[in-house]
Amino acid sequence: MPEVLDPVDVVCVGVGWTGGIIGKELAEDGKQVVGIERGGERGPEDYLTMHNELRYALRYELMQDLSKGTLTFRNEPNQKALPMRQLGSFLPGKGVGGAGVHWNGQTWRFLPYDFEIRSRTLDRYGPEKIPEDMQLQDWGITYDELRPYYQTFEEMTGISGAAGNLDGNIQNEGNPFEGPREEYPTQPMITSPLLGRFMEASASVGLHPFMAPSANLSEAYTNPDGVARGPCQYCGYCERFGCEWGAKADPTVTVLPSAQETGNFELRTQCDARRLVYDEQEGRVTGVKYVDTVDNTVYIQPAEVVALTAYALWNVKLLLLSDIGEPYDPETGEGVVGKNYCYQNFGGSAAGYFDDEEWNLYMGAGALGAAVDDWNGDNFDHTDLDFIHGGNIAISQTGKRPIANNESPPNVQKEWGSEFKRASVKYHNSTASISAQGAVMPHRTNYLDLDPTYTDEWGDPLLRMTFNWTEQDRKLAEFEGQRCAEIIDAMGPTKMGVGTEVIGEGGNYDIRPYQSTHNTGGAIMGSDSNTSVVNSYLQCWDAENLFVPGASAFPHNSGYNPTGTVGALAYRAADGIKQYFKRPRMLG
Amino acid sequence: MPEEQPETRFDFTRRSFLGQSGLAGGIVLSGHAADVARGEVQQETQNGDTGVDEDALVQLDIDQARLVQAMAERVYPSDEFGPGAVETGVVYFIDRQLAGAWGKGENWYMEPPFVNQFEDAIPNQGWQSNLTPAETYEFALEWTEEYANNEFGGSFLDLSTDQQEELLTALENDEPNNFRSVKPSEFFTLFRTNVLEGVYCDPTYGGNRNMAGWRMKRFPGSPGALGSYKELIGREGFIRIPPRSVEDDVESTGIETGTGSSESSNSSATHSHGHNHGPRYELESEQDDDAQESDAHEVDENAEGDTDA
């Protein structure tokens, strides 16, 4: 029998960005908060000798150990799903801070268009613009409503950037297409020569380049919680690494110290949550059942409020295992849990190979980049195009790791041998690569449920992912690839390669090559309990004291990295939980 | 931007933990294997020959190792452009990887049921074999030799360079039909990846001997523990910095955080390399904003050999 512990006010299931934010906010509000985290503790002191590509980037030091559990995958519902036996396409984190430790720090706000995407598409283009199987939904919240939460997240993390739309006034240095905002807490990152070249070329073809917003601090910064961090050193070890300087915002150097200082936040590591204890009659969760993997004891932690703050995919798995909400059925379109799983489409890309240039590409930072937003969202007219949305086109200088990066121009046929070796060495510091971060729209047969065959270390079913690219994705990749080519061409390369097809063998989504850790949807937000899992406060329609923030709440995925929006929604959820404690009810 | 600077309550700006030591892990190479890995023991043969030091092997037997080395040399050849898989010690890198956690598939999901991936899986679903990387090498090397004998009438080692390339191309294109459990192309992809890892990894893993792989790509390795390029990132012109390994960082900080998620830990490095613990780089001239700096800065305090093409 599980050991039942003394009740607390709030349990956070998973301690990454969302668990850390909610933990801090509620602990500061005087609530007793417990954070259940299946990994271990870690921090900047662990990364002093981390400049090691093999260990961190390729043997996945900071990522999930699949031997304890993974997911299964298939492209189409009529195929047999098989387990993802090794990491590839995406990299969930392990340990305190989650994937928020090994992220790049690219921190965007979604467009006002994103939150009202269905309404605005209907208004501008009419109903025929939305294919029958594209389950496009508004988010149940507007950009203006989410804006203050974005601001709070950006001030906590100290985001570096230049505003492009300062309360409605368009600024030259920033992104003119963004929603109205405030100044960034810190100035933009340093423009490296490669980024400068991209910006000049983009401007020369009529686009509007700007320095990308970054959670790698451009300057020393003390946040409103009193957390002081130093500036980024551009060491080139950021993506897939932890930051030994604490310059990259991650939960272990921002919200978690603040939470723990209150004395109200208890972090329980090596504790694996297995179920939310659900009382369907009452429409409430009463606590969390978890295994302490050190003493091998099963505990139940009762709580007034549960925040499901695991990685997006595992949020959905825990909801399904706990029988909370109606599982989505792709045949009927009924049900909600597992619906609208989306991803990121990097099919549109271009690379220039320069015989007479050599850049210091070994230097860099995860969010050192420049971007254009002209071909993102509904920033351009889609009337004569057979897709909606678009993607942020960016060049990044993240630190070019020599094992993983061996580009050669298109005229080099083989990926090995003498010719390949010569080309990949010759162009190692002389390649400019850009890509569009393509948005992905929901589709009827792209969803998450439980696998009937494979199990995790506890014998529970694995999550099953059914996902493939659609015509929308293919058309978008083709369009964005051409736009990327125009920019690279303007940079004046000796040779050029262009990508206009979605990534994957046979034009189908492929679980093997790394694409992005931007898994979204499955527990989506909305204003209608028949078509969403949570309301605009991330409060579960079927359990009013359960809040489910994270990228699992995205009804579609936009053309940006998700963390800025994940952070904003976590603050929104924290706000909702505070209101709920004052008067328990469905909010809204 | 906040109006007033808040009071600092948590300071992540200074590295007070620099004096600490004894964190996780350590470097495992020692004795003869370490000397071989560091290039301190010369191999009997150089320049593309397939001599392998049997005493330095951990997992592979000498026949397997010779085959791995010969195949690796075709994937990443030694040529007038620079050293190849032999000089960079790829075979020793692969050998140790197979012997460690990665070779055992420790972080892979290896639960049944396994399907016959020739019929019941699509490539996009990824690795479906029940074989770990070490087992895959064990079998696939044998199948490769079998194929060499059947198609070319001899061991891979005895084929001409052109025939060896032809055989690897056949693997890449799934032509051999004597492979079971893994497809020839899957083994080839795994092998190619391992070869590139061996050429360009931190030398502590036995590959990238003398940091020759990094020198070819003009890659500086580690910027140093708490290293910085902040003053350089905005500069025009290529800045060449001599390569530095994680072992140097370990020595300079006195901290071991380990280099081997795929290695066990039993000893720290005992070799003194006489490294300069001073600044990571030294520019010939201080930055001049309007200087034309199209030529590479060369910072060559201890570079060995000229890697410029």
Q: Are A542 and A156 in contact (CB under 8 A)?
A: no
Per-chain mean pLDDT for chain B: 78
Cβ–Cβ contact B219 with A under 8 A: yes
Q: Which of residues 176-205 of B touch A (CB under 8 A)?
A: 192, 195-197, 199-202, 205
Does the pLDDT value for residue B32 go beyond 60? no
pLDDT above 70 covers a percentage of chain B that reads: 68
Q: Measured on CA atoms in the order A166, A170, A172, A178, is the torsion positive or negative? A: positive
**Residue bearing tokens 């929901």:** A442
Cα A252 to Cα A11, A16, A255, B146, B245, distances in angstroms: 18, 9, 7, 53, 27
ipTM of predicted complex: 0.96
The answer, yes or no, to whether residue B21 has pLDDT greater than 70, is: no
Q: How many CB atoms lie within 10 A of CB A453?
A: 14
pLDDT lower than 50: segments of chain A: none
Question: Could you give the residue numbers annotated as active site of A?
Answer: 518
Minimal C-alpha gap between B54 and chain A (Å): 25
With an 8 Å Cβ cutoff, is B276 touching chain A? no
- Give the pLDDT confidence score for residue A252 in this predicted structure: 97
First to last CA, chain A: 39
- The gap from C-alpha A184 to its chain's centroid, in whole angstroms, comes to 21
Averaged pLDDT for residues B218-236: 94
pLDDT at position B45: 44
Residue A306 pairs with which residues in a beta bridge?
A11, A546
Q: Taking CB atoms and an 8 Å cutoff, what residues of chain A touch B232?
A: 234, 360, 363
Sign of the dihedral defined by the CA atoms of residues A3, A8, A9, A15, in that order: negative
Lookup: tokens for A452: 């009937």
B222 and A52: CB-CB below 8 Å?
A: yes
The per-residue pLDDT for B48 is 45
Return d(Cα A306, Cα A308) in angstroms, integer: 6
Task: Grade residue B18 by pLDDT with cuts at 50, 70 and 90.
Answer: very low
> What size, in residues, is chain A?
588
pLDDT band at B308 (very low <50, low <70, confident <90, very high): very low
For residue B301, pLDDT over 80 is answered with no
A223 contact residues in B (CB cutoff 8 A): 6
Q: Indicate if the pLDDT at residue B95 is higher than 80.
A: yes
* pLDDT (0 to 100) of residue A60: 97
**Most A CBs within 10 Å: which of B107, B183, B255, B293, as the mutation test of the A interface?**
B107
B-chain residues within 8 Å CB-CB of A414?
169
pLDDT at B134 (0 to 100)? 98
pLDDT value, residue A56:
97
Give the single-character DSSP code of A293. Answer: T
| Kind plus residue range of the DSSP H or E element containing A481 | helix A471-490
Answer whether B217 sits within 8 Å of A245, measured CB to CB: no
C-alpha distance from A183 to closest chain B C-alpha (Å): 6
Q: Is the pLDDT of residue B302 over 90?
A: no
**pLDDT of B39 over the 90 cut:** no
Does the pLDDT value for residue B294 go beyond 80?
A: no
Nearest to A48 among B102, B111, B257 (CB): B257
pLDDT tier at B251 (50, 70, 90 boundaries)? confident
Q: Which among A184, A190, A229 has the least Cβ separation from residue B13?
A: A229
Q: What is the pLDDT of residue B250?
A: 83
Which of B123, B64, B50, B47 has the alpha carbon at shortest distance from B98? Answer: B64
Q: Which two tokens stand for residue A350?
A: 């271009």
Verify cis geometry, omega within 30 degrees of 0, for the bond prior to B203.
no
Residues of A with CB below 8 A from B7's CB?
222, 226
Look up residue A258 and give its amino acid. Answer: S
Q: Which fold has domain A3-45+55-62+93-582?
A: FAD/NAD(P)-binding domain (3.50.50)
Tell me which residue in A85, A234, A504 faces B230 most closely, judged by beta carbons.
A234
Q: What is the pLDDT of residue A38?
A: 96
pLDDT band at B255 (very low <50, low <70, confident <90, very high): low
**What pLDDT is attached to residue A86?**
97
A270-329 pLDDT, tens per residue?
999 999 999 999 999 999 999 999 999 999 999 999 999 999 999 999 999 999 999 999
Q: What is the pLDDT of residue B272?
A: 36
The predicted pLDDT at position B256 comes to: 56
pLDDT digits (tens, 9 = 90+) for A432-451: 999 999 999 999 999 999 99
Domain boundaries, chain B: 31-214
The SS3 of residue A388 is coil
pLDDT at B28 over 60: no
Please indicate whether residue B19 or residue B64 has the higher confidence score (pLDDT). B64
Virtual CA dihedral for B174, B180, B181, B184, nearest 10 degrees? Answer: -20
The pLDDT value given to residue A588: 83
pLDDT of B44 strictly over 50: no
A363 interaction partners in chain B (CB closer than 8 Å): 229, 232-233
Question: Is A55 within 8 Å of B260 when comparing Cβ atoms?
Answer: yes
Q: Determine the average pLDDT of the residues in B142-171.
A: 98
Of B17, B169, B233, the CB nearest to A45: B17
- Nearest by Cα to A559 from A232, A114, A207: A114
Report the chain B residue with the minimal C-alpha distance to residue A60: B261
